[in-house]
Structure 1
Amino acid sequence: MFDFTGKTVLITGASGALGTTLSVQFAQAGANVVAASRSHYDEVAEKAGGNSLGVRLDVTSETEWAEAIARTEERFGPLDILINNAAYLRIGTTESIPLDEFRRVLDTNLTGALLGIRAAAPSMRKAGGGAIVNVNSIAGLTAAPGLVAYSSSKWALRGLTRAAAKELARDNIRVNAVHPGIIETPLAYDPDGNPIVPVDNLAVPRNAAPAEIADFILFTASDQARFATGSEVLADGGYMLGAIA
């Protein structure tokens, strides 16, 4: 369906369920894949197959971002696509969440994306342009009790997406966001294994498979979406419609 032959993509949070799925699907579509994560990155690259490279990347570190881009260019040449997928979720209310955990969520979900765009843009200019996809969330469109840090980070990510889209447009670099609903990953459950957000009364009463969300992300990164920048693609199974029963 998608053809990324000759394109190089860097995916953050590659060791997670969605990140691994993205790595595999981009590789299957012909891309050179850089699977970036704090751990298990080589395993993901091996699973993706094709022309894949695993790199260590803590998205909150400017130094590690510079090293990741340098290794990408050394192996494949300039970067064409960046998927800011790394995320951290900590349950806690406005009054209860520890301040250091609030900051950790923002550092990963917001500052990590900022540093990624900052590191990737010069490489994309060498390539003549590129596409950046920020993996946001329905938490960036609404809010839920106990997710104050996550929601705050994702709402702020919307502003970053739009600002970067304007700033990079003349460099032929598109910046868009995909807002998934609840994905069947460990992030969908609390430490006791209970769903953080019930989906039984949604229009599509189930969690999304990672592959379903990956399809939206690949489309947004592809040339088939070349007229879109600063856009927000919603893939939520009807969550934003509210309960139907």
Structure 2
Amino acid sequence: MGRVQGKVAIVTGAASEPSLGRSTAMALAREGARLVVTDIDEKGVEDCAQKIRDAGGEAIALRQDVVSEQGWKDVIASTIATYGRLDVLVNNAGIAVLKLLDELSLDDWNRQVNVNLTSVFLGCKYAVPEMRKAGGGSIVNLSSVAGLIGLQRCVAYSASKGGVRLMTKSIALEVGQDKIRCNSVHPGVIWTNMQAGARDSANKQAGQAATAGFPISRLGEPEDIANCVLYLSSDESSYVTGAEFTVDGGMTAM
């Protein structure tokens, strides 16, 4: 207990359940962080915050459209007004536009890049000045195995997640002297609402079948990712920056 005791953390995309954002927020709260959880789904993100409070933690919920620059300014301002500082930013919010190149419209492309990549740029841009004031911090950007290897139907998705990977490294170089660390996490096949498309056993079985040939032949759980983010948010990773953490059951090792 207490691995991130007293730290103030923003986690975007925390409404859905099961999801990486909600699991991450709950894990950080269990280890002592004070949370700001955001999502475009106001009801869902308030439910996340309430569960944290019910468990004895501290959390506020904010509705946020992560592609809005003013929205990011407002979230940062609310965080400082509530807690007085910012130590951790987890850029988790994202969508998956999975279409073949021939099917992909310019609107599809722009929406995918805006939500998955531009939002991360905005979050980092407005979090860094407050982390400097706090004497340092940790930024964790959620990428994907699709940001490391090519996958069919992932032209826009892979481009956005690959952008997150390299932007993370560049930010790490720029802010390291301020004791701010910036790392990316690359999930594989994880059982979330985004992965499932719907909460039914048939889809979960299909996801399980997709992992059968992996070295660790099971479907990943949101907690697998949350545990990695928790490590990167904590002082245990104080010498880790500009790195990519692949949590995929060995998928990309094959």
In the aligned structure 2, how far is the partner of 1:189 from the partner of 1:128? Answer: 40
Q: CA deviation at 1:80?
A: 0.3
Cα distance in 2 between the residues matched to 1:47 and 1:197 = 32
Question: Is the contact between residue 2 and residue 222 of structure 1 (CA under 8 Å) also seen in structure 2?
Answer: no
Identity, % of aligned positions: 36
Structure-2 change in CA distance of 1:154 and 1:2 (3 Å): farther
In 1, distance between residues paired with 2:8 and 2:177? 21
User: Which residue matches 1:43?
Assistant: 47
Could you tell me how far 1:75 is from its partner in structure 2?
Answer: 0.6
Q: Which TM-score applies when normalising by structure 2?
A: 0.91
| Aligned-partner SS, 1:95 | helix
- Report the counterpart of residue 216 of structure 1 in structure 2: 228
Counterpart residue type for residue 233 of structure 2: A
SS in 2 for 1:219: helix
**Aligned pairs, how many?**
242
Match of 1:8 in 2: 8
- By percentage of residues, which structure has more helix? 2
- Unpaired runs of 5+ residues, structure 1, are none
Q: Secondary structure at the match of 2:103?
A: coil
Q: How does 1:32-181 map to 2 (within 5 A)?
A: 32-39=34-41, 40-49=44-53, 50-181=57-188
Q: Which amino acid aligns with 2:111?
A: R
Q: Deviations over 1:64-83 (max 9, x none)?
A: 10110111001101110000
CA drift of 1:196 comes to: 11
TM-score, normalization: structure 1?
0.94
Opposite residue 25 of structure 1, the aligned amino acid is A
Matches of 1:198 and 1:60, distance apart in 2: 32
* Contact 1:203/1:237 (8 A) holds in 2: yes
What is the DSSP-based 3-state SS (H/G/I as helix, E as strand, rest coil) of the residue aligned with 1:70? Answer: helix
In 1, Cα distance between equivalents of 2:130 and 2:45: 22
Deviation, structure 1 residue 203? 1.1
Q: Distance in 2 between matches of 1:32 and 1:176?
A: 21
Secondary structure of the residue aligned to 1:79 is coil
Equivalent in 21, 24, 33 of residue 22 of structure 1? 24
3-state SS of paired residue (1:111): helix
Alpha-carbon distance in structure 2 between the residues aligned to 1:190 and 1:27: 27
**Pairing partner for 1:31 from 9, 30, 33:** 33
Task: Give the secondary-structure state (helix, strand or coil) at the position aligned to 2:81.
Answer: helix
> Structure with the greater relative contact order (CA < 8 A, sep ≥ 6): 1 or 2?
2
Partner of 1:198: 210
Gap runs ≥5 in structure 2: none
How far does the alpha carbon of each residue in 1:190-215 deviate from its partner, in whole angstroms, 9 at most, with x for none? 57945499212111122111111110
SS for the counterpart of 1:11 is: strand
Distance 1:241 1:230 in 2: 20
Question: 2:229 aligned with 1:225, yes or no?
Answer: no
Q: Distance in 2 between matches of 1:37 and 1:159?
A: 25
Q: Secondary structure of the residue that 2:210 maps to in structure 1?
A: coil
Q: Which runs of 4+ in 1 moved over 6 A?
A: none
User: Aligned Cα RMSD in Å?
Assistant: 1.7
Change (3 A) 1:228 1:197: farther
Cα distance in 2, alignment partners of residues 79 and 67 from structure 1: 14
What is the CA–CA distance in structure 1 between the aligned matches of 2:209 and 2:153, rounded to whole Å?
A: 11
